[in-house]
Amino acid sequence: MITIKSQREIEGMKKSGEIIAGMHKGLRELIKPGLSTWKIEEFSRQYIESHGGRAAQIGFEGFEYATTVSVNNEVAHAFPRKKLILKDGDIVKVDTVVDLDGYYSDSAWSYAVGNVSDEVKRLMAVTKKALYIGIDQAQVGNRIGDIGAAIDKYVTDENGYGNVREYIGHGIQPTMHEEPAVPHYGKAGHGLRLKAGMTITIEPMVNLGGWKVETSKEDGWTVTTEDGSWSAQYEHVIAITDDGPKILTSQDPEFDAKYL
């Protein structure tokens, strides 16, 4: 079911999003070579809870952690681990969901660990730009397919990267995952028409190699690239408004000025 949110609800989600944004800004300073991915979990959970929020991923379908912390060829949903130590040149993706007084926000971000290769820098830049290309299409009157088509054209046709298809964006509020599904591929002019008051996530996952992924048979959660290539991801929560798309999880007001 798709719900149209009031301005009051959107403001509540934005306050929730401010907690996620603050957490990610803190991770910029924390993440460096020699850090265990468990320290990312500890910092993130403490930050969320100390700011009045609840780490909503804990308990979701049996998941035990506040964050997913995915490294290099891990695309998504990997557990934070005490024995996994970040190395210079790694790329790490951190994803979490915050519930603040019943208002949800969801954001994933990619971090370079120390000095990464030019190849990884370009992967991260293309993936982040793909997110904003998708956001530009989140306009009243456009269709879901317009978002996915624009992202896929840029990621696949123009840059030759693998655009993950198995995991997609989604509606959000009043729960973590709501309708509509928001693929990062599709056909322009097709799919559900966007209306003011809808709130969605846009969260492209982009691989250096092919787009296919697989899920660990050992833990049932960790998603990796099928070909072993490295992956990046960026995600924001967006409110569809008559004044254009509004980012509710912005970390950088100056960078996101046109979307606030």
77 labeled part of a ligand binding site: yes
24 labeled part of a ligand binding site: no
90 labeled part of a ligand binding site: no
Sign of CA dihedral 48, 77, 144, 126: positive
157 labeled part of a ligand binding site: no
Token readout for 112 is 């370079």
Q: In which element (H, E) is residue 27 found?
A: helix 7-30
Contact 178, 191 (CB under 8 A): no
Q: Running DSSP on this structure, what letter comes out for residue 173? A: S
Give the 3-state secondary structure of residue 134: helix
184 labeled part of a ligand binding site: no
φ, ψ (nearest 5 deg) of residue 224:
-125, 160
Which residues, listed in sequence order, are joined to residue 222 by a DSSP beta bridge?
Answer: none
Token readout for 194 is 């966007």
Residue in the structure block whose two tokens are 């370009």? 122
Numbered residues of the known binding site: 77, 95, 106, 170, 177, 203, 235
Binding residues for substrate: 77, 177
| Binding site, annotated residues for a divalent metal cation | 95, 106, 170, 203, 235
